[in-house]
């Protein structure tokens, strides 16, 4: 094997965000762009020599070509072994499991998660460390430092490898093991859930519709739901992963999974609906005639996880991202377990999980997971819901009504203002930040501010501090708003506004969520001077 050392120079803008480096696909296809970032990653972790990695992605455009490049660079950098999914496919949860199962030194996951795919859409690469989780800030900062100093990268001069067949091959002295992307993950799910109970549920006539959105979870859902658990054929739709996700947006929310939502709200609704995203780490849960917010889903799963085999001994704690509603906090309080609040980004859950402080984690952006891996896991959440329904023999709506009667309901919604010019978005946040200390006691749209701050997090395990993680506004009457700029987009800035209004157990829990949140919505828009800064009066996406 001949190794080429290619001279290069730093490329600006290669700073990984909360989920790795995401850019437009054509940017990644540019000369040296992917190669620079991969070499910087290897350099940042002390080199690849004699190390083992997992490599795979969600099958989006450029996935196959990028994997061939990564394999050749890993070989040139002295890696000893690569585990890769057949045809380069691996869901993010499956990749996390493989890293942990085989005790590798980490993995390179190719995805832009829920972002659209295609040559004119989005692509991404992230490095997961040996615990299976996204690289912590110390590692991502080291990668960024390397991108700014890089002067060369190493790559093997070799033809492309055949990744279509399970088996082993070699590239120089590096072994490449091509595996079935589903098998090990399926075994893990079987160890966590009562598959016999779920089989009985389907045998009783219970119907499910799982929309894979032409993304990576399709083969996993087909194998587990229809293959092993006996859901009727055709229960999993849009199951073939496509490079452009069929021209759709692989984001499991009521806006982008509208076909599933329309079905679930119709007279022909199945008993249970679910969807997952581009790389399989997010989920949407829908009952007959009722949508389950990710915040409510986390709370319901926390309250009922003991009904599943893998969690029958109980939970050590529950963690949520700061913008996620406080619904799971109320469950944790009643269970007498830890409730942790972290910044947005799954990597912040990793230390808590590794230390055994929490068992379940969740984010309002449709991500839920547990200590079985170190990533959020869309299909895992679906299976846990099915396990709960199989034991309780209630509908999704009945489970939610019971939950609200016990804990109260946190009416909740996220409003996204997309593609705002970055300088405008930053100006809005800067202005609001400058007024935080003066907001307490002021009234907006009839709501009085009871407190306001900018969230800062001190990791209780390693002591690291993450500042400026979002602005929190509390109003009298158990209402809250959170404002933060998202790090997952590739164009302009997305301002996310999270709205929450608590209704206690004895209150009416059947109000329309947007109606229940209208006052806090208006108050928040006035408070942050939304129209003055952005010219916007309505969000682009409401979930």
Q: How many CB atoms lie within 10 A of CB 210?
A: 30
Give the 3-state secondary structure of residue 21: strand
Give the 3-state secondary structure of residue 514: helix
Residues 126, 109: Cα–Cα separation, whole Å: 5
Structure-block tokens of residue 82: 């690569």
Q: Which residues pair with 409 in a beta bridge?
A: 503
Closest alpha carbon to 323 in 182, 169, 486 = 486
Give the 3-state secondary structure of residue 25: helix
Q: Is 164 labeled as catalytic in the residue annotation?
A: no
Q: Going by DSSP bridges, is the β-strand pair 493-503/447-454 parallel, antiparallel, or unpaired?
A: unpaired
Query: E strands along 15-92, which residues?
Result: 21-24, 52-57, 81-89
Edge-to-edge strand order for the sheet containing 272-276?
A: 236-237, 208-211, 272-276, 283-287, 290-292
Residues 509, 385: Cα–Cα separation, whole Å: 21
Edge-to-edge strand order for the sheet containing 174-179?
A: 21-24, 122-128, 107-110, 52-57, 81-89, 174-179, 167-171
Q: Going by DSSP bridges, is the β-strand pair 471-475/465-466 parallel, antiparallel, or unpaired?
A: unpaired
Q: Which of 19, 91, 96, 113 is catalytic?
A: 113
**226: CB partners within 8 A, 6+ apart:** 232, 233, 235, 236
The helix (H) or strand (E) run that includes residue 96 is helix 92-101
**311: CB partners within 8 A, 6+ apart:** 192, 305, 359, 370
Residues 425, 491: Cα–Cα separation, whole Å: 12
117-146 in b/e form (b: 16+ CB < 10 A) is bbeebbbbbbbbbbbbbbbbbebbebbbeb
Closest alpha carbon to 303 in 350, 348, 360, 374 = 360
Give the 3-state secondary structure of residue 147: helix
Contact 385, 301 (CB under 8 A): yes
Give the 3-state secondary structure of residue 129: coil
Give the end-to-end CA distance of the chain in Å, rounded to a whole number: 52
Q: How many CB atoms lie within 10 A of CB 311?
A: 22
Give the 3-state secondary structure of residue 237: strand
> Would you please indicate which residues are annotated as catalytic (active-site) residues?
113
């Amino acid at each position: 094997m001949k190794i080429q050392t290619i001279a290069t120079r730093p490329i600006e803008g290669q700073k990984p965000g909360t989920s790795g480096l995401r850019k437009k696909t054509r940017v990644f296809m540019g000369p040296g762009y992917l190669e620079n970032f991969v070499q910087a990653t290897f350099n940042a972790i002390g080199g690849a020599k004699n190390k083992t990695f997992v490599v795979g992605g969600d099958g989006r455009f450029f996935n196959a070509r990028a994997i061939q490049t990564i394999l050749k660079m890993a070989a040139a950098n002295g890696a000893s072994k690569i585990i890769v999914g057949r045809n380069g496919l691996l869901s993010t949860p499956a990749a996390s499991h493989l890293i942990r199962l085989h005790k590798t030194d980490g993995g390179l996951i190719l995805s832009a998660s829920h972002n659209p795919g295609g040559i004119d859409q989005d692509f991404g690469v992230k490095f997961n460390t040996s615990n299976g989780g996204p690289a912590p800030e110390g590692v991502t900062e080291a990668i960024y430092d390397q991108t700014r100093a890089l002067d060369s990268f190493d790559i093997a001069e070799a033809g492309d490898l055949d990744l279509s067949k399970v088996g082993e091959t070699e590239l120089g002295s590096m072994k490449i093991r091509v595996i079935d992307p589903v098998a090990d993950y399926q075994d893990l799910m079987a160890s966590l859930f009562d598959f016999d109970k779920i089989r009985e549920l389907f045998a009783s006539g219970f119907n499910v519709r799982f929309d894979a959105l032409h993304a990576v979870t399709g083969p996993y859902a087909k194998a587990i739901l229809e293959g092993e658990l006996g859901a009727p054929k055709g229960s999993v739709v849009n199951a073939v992963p496509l490079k452009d996700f069929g021209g759709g947006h692989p984001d499991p929310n009521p806006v982008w999974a509208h076909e599933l939502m329309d079905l679930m709200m119709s007279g022909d609704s199945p008993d249970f609906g679910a969807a997952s995203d581009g790389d399989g780490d997010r989920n949407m849960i829908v009952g007959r005639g009722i949508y389950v917010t990710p915040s409510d889903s986390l709370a319901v799963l926390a309250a009922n996880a003991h009904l599943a085999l893998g969690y029958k001994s109980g939970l050590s704690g529950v963690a949520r991202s700061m913008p996620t509603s406080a619904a799971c906090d109320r469950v944790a309080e009643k269970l007498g377990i830890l409730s942790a609040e972290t910044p947005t980004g799954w990597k912040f859950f990793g230390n808590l999980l590794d230390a055994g402080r929490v068992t379940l984690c969740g984010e309002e952006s449709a991500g839920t997971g547990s200590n079985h891996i170190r990533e959020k896991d869309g299909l895992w959440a679906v299976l846990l819901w099915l396990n709960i329904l199989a034991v309780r023999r209630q509908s999704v709506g009945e489970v939610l009504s019971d939950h609200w009667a016990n804990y109260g309901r946190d009416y909740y919604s996220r409003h996204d203002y997309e593609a705002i010019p970055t300088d405008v978005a930053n100006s809005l946040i800067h202005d609001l930040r400058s007024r935080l200390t003066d907001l307490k006691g002021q009234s907006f749209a009839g709501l009085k501010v009871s407190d306001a701050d900018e969230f800062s997090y001190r990791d209780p395990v390693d002591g690291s501090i993450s500042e400026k993680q979002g602005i929190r506004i509390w109003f009298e009457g158990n209402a809250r708003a959170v404002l933060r700029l998202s790090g997952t987009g590739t164009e302009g800035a997305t301002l996310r506004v999270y709205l929450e209004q608590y209704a206690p157990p004895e209150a009416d829990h059947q109000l329309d969520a947007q109606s229940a949140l209208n006052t806090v919505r208006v108050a928040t828009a006035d408070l942050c001077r939304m129209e003055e800064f952005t010219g916007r009066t309505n969000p682009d996406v409401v979930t």
